[in-house]
Amino acid sequence: MSLEGRFDAEAGLVYVGGDARQRYHDSRGYGYPISSNEIALSPVEAAHLLYRGDLEAVVDDADGTRLDFQAFVAREPGEGFGVRFLVYADLRSRGFYLSPADESWVEDPPTGEADFAVFPRGKGPGDGEIAYALRIIGERTDVPAGELAEGVLAVVDEESEITYFEVNREAPTGNSNPDVSLPDRCEADLLADRVVVWDPPLELYERLFYGQPLEGREYDRPTLQCSLLEAASLAERGAIDLDPATVRERGREVEGERFERRLAVYTELRERDVVPKTGYKFGADFRTYAAVESVSELDHSELLVRVHPADYVFEPRDLALDVRLAHGVRKTMVFALVDDDGGIEWWSLERLTP
């Protein structure tokens, strides 16, 4: 026999008595217990039970109206209810239990902008284990960088298709630290938007992967063309005979304040034993190599890095484009968010199939 629920609009909850606790919560992970029999459901949970026919109707406390699934969904005023219902129903169909992230009974509830706590497949709210925090948005909902949080971001497009992104906060690391020292003040010339380093030791390119050799010169000490970022890094460390401030000033002339953000990221990647090279052909700031022993034995780069200011606002469509491109070339998309003091937050996004 189907049960009926009671909708308290002020509390934003649907209460169900009878044997609801055993039928819906204990055996299938819906809602949270109020008593030995009664449970409270979020509107999305109630809508799902109505949709499946497990809950016969919901009676509105305010006016006594008896609501079926269609009437309940039409009356539910909560912002984003439609996209949350679609994702909730999709994950339920995949065998997951999930509960509103702000429920007081959820142990170690997710923080930030999460909508639901998703439990490992085969586990429920009473098992004390959360697989990940889930945030749900529509494709036109922008995401400020400050609202990024570890977990899963589900984006529902205008045709109700769902894309899941796994979001992690973790700085890149590598072991590209060969036992090779930088040279001392190699002769170099600053051109319009790059630097030429004359006759540096071969290891500067072959082992440390700075610059690109000038084609057509068969010497043991090649002539290297370096980007302004590479040149600024080398100048700061005394490896070329250019004033670091002069190189940085030229960088700002070429690309404005963006240069300083990119240089901060470039420098930190090198300090983390990761080798960054231009990501232009992939539409990114950098592609990176975690383990460079020799350029002649170079593996594929692992990451694409895009640099943004700390207050950047992401558009879901751009996120989808970046992540899809990185996936298509067997790389992970990483965003480096740089604050005014040069501090960096690292976020990676990858497509996820729950």
Q: Which residues are the active-site residues?
A: 289, 300, 331
CB atoms under 10 Å from CB of 139, counted, come to: 17
Judge contact between 301 and 280, C-beta under 8 A. Answer: no
Q: Which residues pair with 164 in a beta bridge?
A: 154, 352
The DSSP element (H or E) to which 14 belongs, if any, is strand 13-16
Rounded alpha-carbon distances, angstroms, from residue 185 to 102, 200, 266, 326, 333: 59, 9, 21, 37, 35
Judge contact between 309 and 337, C-beta under 8 A. Answer: yes
Place of tokens 């070429």: 254
CB atoms under 10 Å from CB of 260, counted, come to: 16
Q: How far is it, in rounded angstroms, from Cα 334 to Cα 326?
A: 9
Nearest by Cα to 354 from 201, 113, 162, 223:
162
Residue 4 three-state SS? strand
Q: How far is it, in rounded angstroms, from Cα 244 to Cα 233?
A: 8
Residue 295 three-state SS? helix
Q: How far is it, in rounded angstroms, from Cα 123 to Cα 119?
A: 6
